[in-house]
Amino acid sequence: MSRSTRAAGRRSAPRANRSRQRSHRARTSSKAIGLTLVSALIPGSGLVMGGRKKLGAFVLTISVGLLVIAAYVGLTRRDTILAFAVSPRQLLIATAAVVVLGIGWIWVVVASHKLIRPVSMTYTGRLAGSLFVGLLCFAIAVPTTVAAQTVMAQRDLVGSVFQSEGNSKSATRPKVDKKDPWANTPRLNLLLLGADDGVGRTGVRTDTVIVASIDTKTGDTALISLSRNWMRMPFPKDSPLHKIYPNGYYDPSGPAEQPEYYLDSMYENVPKQHPGILGQTDNEGADVVKLAAGAALGLDIDYYMQVNLAGFRQIIDAVGGITVNVNYRVPIGGDYGDGPGSNNAKKPSGYIEPGAGQKLDGYHALWFARGRYGLSDPSRQERQRCTIHALVNSVNPATLVTKYQQIASAGKQLLRTDIPQEILPAFIELGVKVKKAKVSNVDLDKSKNFPSGQDPRYEAMQEIVAKAIAPKGKSTPSTTSTKPTKKPTSGSTKKTPNPAVTPGEAENLNDACAYNPSQSGN
């Protein structure tokens, strides 16, 4: 072969390659833009259309594979998702994965457009193509950034509120099987504390003390409110505090009314009076109230969740408010000027007026739960239960997706608990059951068992609680001491809407929180 023939062959090869490249390109700018959109919706398809078939097939396979895996896990492995969502380490890996996938997606779009666009383009066509590609990249970058920030917000929330069992201490937390926490727990008893601290308040008083007794199989929940001014709160006989207060928490040599020995004072006062008496713990006040509330009601309290009432306002706003029925005027502010934690006497600054289905923001929801000027403690307790009920019902998937970072930020400031990270997936699954199940209020019969806070009848209350949460068709033996009883399984009494409640019975919260303007709140 002559030198000239070989040279001609070498020169002809690039032309053939350029010809093959042209054959994959769109003939017009508008068609290139359309194919680029397809490449963004089906990652890898643009590379195939642009002639990079092996690379395109690889990207397309990865894209389809990820979608199939996501669909499979989402539909069949909910427990895996829940475990993943509450693991700080795995959430950090997920954040990195989201960022890498987002960057890879943007690269695929840009590379596809470069392969597909015509070789010769007018200035207008080139500008239109560049603007469209930029818009697509922006549309990918924004949700990718939001997703990464949301995952990090979840990681921050889990790490801030829920500590691992090895990194936290509790004097009252039970030992459970991490793989199946409810295997030997037919009922989970959770103590809900509302800490009434804030500007103008002295110390921390748990003005809200509610026990939620949850059937771990069905999610049916009984809410039991304890009055803040109860005295002589008992302790279990095996507790070192029982040796100091064998007849309950009060001063036998003191006056009849002892505000510094109320239930709401125990969180702060007992740790001050007897520091370290319960052993190593991260929150001795909460452990004290857990023991006392459990002994008073005849239950073993498993965990606590403490809510800062100032932060409560933020989380209500984060979920977009709650809808409640207001049966009577509820005061905003107001102070009698006496009693622990009080300021100077003053009238309420306003009122939440009665009305059915009222949408309340965080400020008004907080006062709906807290307002008590001129109203009774039982009415306040009922409004607090209705506020919790409304909050549970107001959280929906759309709210979680659109406002999760705000909710997580509020939750980090709002909550304190001894629930360990290791059992969070089980807690989330139980929470889903509770949202769909029946929630009832257990009436402890104030007129009979605690007409005042000075000498409550705890044994009679224990009988009411045991009856309310006992399985249907089974009788419950009378309680003869303040020692916590074994946890029975669920059951509660069905009620018709807005009936006259018989003292000592369980009432469905849908009925208790219904609109009934005949109520006075006194």
N- to C-terminal Cα separation, the chain: 112
- For position 394, what pLDDT does the model report? 76
Mean pLDDT by 10 residues, the chain (522 residues): 52 48 70 90 90 91 91 78 78 90 93 87 86 93 88 81 86 89 92 69 74 93 91 95 95 92 93 94 94 96 86 82 92 72 73 92 89 83 85 69 65 81 87 86 90 92 93 52 37 40 66 85 76
Q: In which region does residue 515 sit, left (phi positive, over 0), alpha (psi from -120 to 50) or beta (all else)? A: beta
pTM beyond 0.95: the answer is: no
Residues 6+ positions from 486 with CB-CB distance below 8 Å: 300
Q: For residues 295 and 181, is the Cβ–Cβ distance under 8 A?
A: no
Most distant CA atoms of the chain, gap in Å = 123
Q: Which two tokens stand for residue 196?
A: 């009434």
Residues 6+ positions from 188 with CB-CB distance below 8 Å: 182, 213, 214, 216, 302, 303, 430
- For position 317, what pLDDT does the model report? 86
Alpha helices in 42-87, H assignment, sequence order: 45-49, 53-76, 78-85
- For position 494, what pLDDT does the model report? 36
Q: How far apart are CA 93 and CA 101, in angstroms?
A: 12
Q: Identify the DSSP state of 487.
A: P
Type of residue numbered 319: V
Q: Identify the DSSP state of 166.
A: G
Which stretch of DSSP H or E encloses residue 188? strand 187-195
Residues 6+ positions from 242 with CB-CB distance below 8 Å: 234, 235, 236
SS3 322: strand
Question: 409 to each of 150, 195, 317, 391, 406, how far by Cα in Å?
Answer: 10, 19, 12, 17, 5
Type of residue numbered 51: G
**Burial of residue 423 (number of CB atoms within 10 Å: 0-12, 13-18, 19+):** buried
- For position 120, what pLDDT does the model report? 79
Q: How many CA atoms lie within 13 A of 393 on its CB side?
A: 16
Q: How far apart are CA 59 and CA 31, in angstroms?
A: 22
SS3 50: coil
Residues 6+ positions from 262 with CB-CB distance below 8 Å: 228, 229, 230, 231, 340, 453
Backbone angles phi, psi at 82, to 5 degrees: -65, -45
Nearest to 497 by CA among 318, 334, 325, 264: 325
The residue count of the chain comes to 522
SS3 118: coil
Q: Which two tokens stand for residue 140?
A: 């990918």
- For position 150, what pLDDT does the model report? 83
- For position 506, what pLDDT does the model report? 66
Q: How far apart are CA 504 and CA 359, in angstroms?
A: 31
- For position 118, what pLDDT does the model report? 85
Alpha helices in 307-361, H assignment, sequence order: 309-318
Q: For residues 364 and 312, is the Cβ–Cβ distance under 8 A?
A: no
Considering the domain delimited by 187-336+350-469, tell me its CATH architecture.
3-Layer(aba) Sandwich (3.40)
Q: How far apart are CA 212 and CA 224, in angstroms?
A: 6
CB atoms within 10 A of CB 173: 20
Type of residue numbered 349: S
Q: For residues 117 and 29, is the Cβ–Cβ distance under 8 A?
A: yes
Which stretch of DSSP H or E encloses residue 416? strand 415-417
Q: Between helices 29-41 and 88-116, what is the axis angle to 10°?
A: 160
Nearest to 117 by CA among 45, 38, 50: 50
- For position 245, what pLDDT does the model report? 96
Distance of CA 190 to the CA centre of its chain: 14
